[in-house]
Amino acid sequence: MVLKTEPDRPDLYVVARILERLWREGGPMIKTRLQVGAKVNYDVFTRYLVWMENRDLVSIHQVEDGHERVSISPKGEEAYRRLVQWINEVTKKGILR
Amino acid sequence: MQSALLAAIVFLASIIPTYLLFDFMSGPTAGSSFWFLFFYAVGPIVASAALAVVLFTREMGVDYTRVSQEEPLNLLRQSLRASMLRVSESPGLLEVRLDWFAAIHISTKVSDEKTRLFVKARPTASGWTTLFFLILLSSSTYGIFFALANAMTVYISARCWYFRRRLPMILSEKRLVRQVPLDETRAALIEALSENHRLAAEAYEARKSNRQDVFAILLLVGIVLFLVLFVAILMTIDGFDDFAQMGLAATLAVVGAAALTAPLALVALHFSGRKVKEFEFWARQLRDALQRETEASPMEDGERTSVELLLDAWKELPKWMEARMKTGHLREPGTWIVISILLLMAVPLILTPLPNIGVAETLIGGSMIGAAFVLYARFKKRQTQESERILNELRSRLDLIRSQLEAEILGS
């Protein structure tokens, strides 16, 4: 039995990986394919999905064919955009010059 | 005016040694031979340096009609990075690396209606180092280094001139729309990947160059060892007049020198090779990711996402910075010029002493080598201290940024 609870301390890598996969897909993605892309086991993946859904970063849809599909929400897209821009700003503003 | 003055120096510096060479060949007087020697040694160096100054300070303009309100350098930077070129940025200036030796500096002057771009040819760090040594060696008897130094200067300038002709096309609206994605997120990804790729590639090149330096030093050590062994063996077997014994001594000296230097070379290859491969791996991964973003190609299931790659790249940044700083010869060009001049003057003094003042010459030559060594040791100490300071600062800033990022995105 899978306990659908949130991770204690979410890992930025996993969250970023899931958001980027969904952002690239541009539409709903089958849950099992997303799990392969997220590179974590099913239990951990489910916890992350719950955490992200509770924060409106993703939405999960039950489709007629029996496959659950996940899509990125506008808030998730915004979070991903902010993450990328932050990384870009840090690099550009020259922590390294 | 400045260019004309420098061109005059180039002309004079090229003519005088030639004139004096003919004078010398046809029977020099005591006075003219001194001037011949002086100009023959210094003239080609001045000429090569002056040509470099003329061509590298020359600014070439390109007219550009603005297609949007955005700063042209921003548009240009995005477009060049989307074309997979390595671009570094400082206020009001872009530096684009064209190849191993050549780069181009681009700046702008904006008026109400028109923007003018200005470009200058510039050698890359590797280009500067190579050119510096070629210019110093320009006074060589055979003139090969003089020719190489000037050919290199002309090549870098020609690369810049050719690239300048492509700039209006790169900046045209059509090309910008086609090449630079309008999606803000993807544009930011391209920028970040490009900048990180530049840093990784520079670190890789720096490390590769360090490895080549180590091998050059080992080769030099090998040659010195060979000479010492060769003379020692000949003295032991007293074979200075016998060709067969000289051949034997040479063979033994080669074997001995190789036996002493080869293990060192293998150790250097083992340790430096691992680092070089690591940096090459990172540069290639970032380049592949950059290509994926510029082409907007889909991702394979096992591939690392771009953000993941960038977050991992942060952990590597201190290593890349360290590698780049270790090849910082050009950070203090003055020190290196003085060191090179001291060594170039000391070696002939020691190797070809005149009969009456041989001891004095050897002492002066030795003092010069000593002074060069002290200068180098001080330079190295300053470089190490500066590297440590910058790296410590960088590590603490990266930790801080990382925790801020986690707090912002994850709310933890």
Assessment of whether the complete model's pTM goes beyond 0.80: no
- What is the longest distance spanned by two Cα atoms in chain A? 54
In this predicted structure, what is the pLDDT of residue B141? 61
Alpha helices by DSSP H, listed for B172-183, are 173-179
CATH of the domain at A39: 1.10.10.10
Asked if residue A5 is part of any domain, the answer here is no
Asked if residue A17 is part of any domain, the answer here is yes
In this predicted structure, what is the pLDDT of residue B374? 92
Cβ–Cβ below 8 Å for A20 and B310? no
Contact A54, A48 (CB under 8 A): no
Confidence band, pLDDT 50/70/90 cuts, at residue A58: very high
What's the rounded mean pLDDT across residues A64-70?
82
Asked if residue A1 is part of any domain, the answer here is no
Contact B91, B129 (CB under 8 A): no
In this predicted structure, what is the pLDDT of residue B121? 93
Asked if residue A46 is part of any domain, the answer here is yes
A50: helix, strand or coil? helix
Q: Which residues contact B307 (CB under 8 A, 6 or more apart)?
A: A16, A17, A19, A20, A80, A83, A84, A87, B189
Give, in order, the Cα–Cα distances in Å from B59 to each of A81, B149, B311, B316, B370.
39, 21, 39, 37, 42
One-letter amino acid for residue A75 of the chain: K
Asked if residue A6 is part of any domain, the answer here is no
Min distance B214 CA to chain A CA atoms (Å): 27
d(CA B409, CA A51): 12
Min distance A79 CA to chain B CA atoms (Å): 7
Q: Give B272-299 as a DSSP string.
A: HHHHHHHHHHHHHHHHHHHHHHHHTPPP
Contact B230, B250 (CB under 8 A): yes
Pairing mode of beta strands B60-65, B102-110: unpaired
In this predicted structure, what is the pLDDT of residue A93? 62
B window 224-263, beta carbon within 8 A of A:
none
In this predicted structure, what is the pLDDT of residue B123? 92
Write out the two tokens for B375. Answer: 């200068």
One-letter amino acid for residue B48 of the chain: S
Chain A residues touching residue B306 (CB < 8 angstroms): 20
Contact B327, B125 (CB under 8 A): yes
Angle between helices B358-410 and B333-351 (to 10 degrees): 150
- With left for phi above 0 and alpha for psi between -120 and 50, is residue B28 left, alpha or beta? beta
Contact A48, A7 (CB under 8 A): yes
Number of domains into which chain A is organized? 1
Min distance A62 CA to chain B CA atoms (Å): 23
In this predicted structure, what is the pLDDT of residue B1? 44
Asked if residue A7 is part of any domain, the answer here is no
Min distance A46 CA to chain B CA atoms (Å): 17
Chain A within 8 Å of B199 (Cβ-Cβ)? yes
d(CA B215, CA B220): 9
In this predicted structure, what is the pLDDT of residue B208? 83
Phi/psi for B107 (5° steps) reads -130, 170
In this predicted structure, what is the pLDDT of residue B172? 65
Asked if residue A77 is part of any domain, the answer here is yes
Asked if residue A38 is part of any domain, the answer here is yes
d(CA B377, CA B397): 30
Chain A within 8 Å of B386 (Cβ-Cβ)? no
Chain A within 8 Å of B305 (Cβ-Cβ)? yes
Cβ–Cβ below 8 Å for A91 and B185? no
Domain of residue A87 covers 12-92
How many CB atoms are closer than 10 A to CB A75?
14
Chain B residues touching residue A83 (CB < 8 angstroms): 307, 405, 409
In this predicted structure, what is the pLDDT of residue B368? 87
B89 forms bridges with which residues in the sheet?
A: B94
What does pLDDT average to in each consecutive run of 10 residues of chain B (412 residues)?
50 51 49 60 83 90 65 79 82 87 87 78 86 80 82 94 81 49 78 88 84 81 85 81 83 90 86 84 91 81 84 83 70 73 76 72 85 88 80 75 73 58
Contact B352, B365 (CB under 8 A): no
Instruction: Supply the ipTM of this predicted assembly.
Output: 0.83
Give, in order, the Cα–Cα distances in Å from B315 to each of A40, B394, B395.
22, 11, 9
Residue identified by tokens 């240009």 is B76
d(CA B81, CA A91): 14
A60: helix, strand or coil? strand
In this predicted structure, what is the pLDDT of residue B175? 44
In this predicted structure, what is the pLDDT of residue B227? 84
d(CA B412, CA B400): 14
Contact A24, A16 (CB under 8 A): no
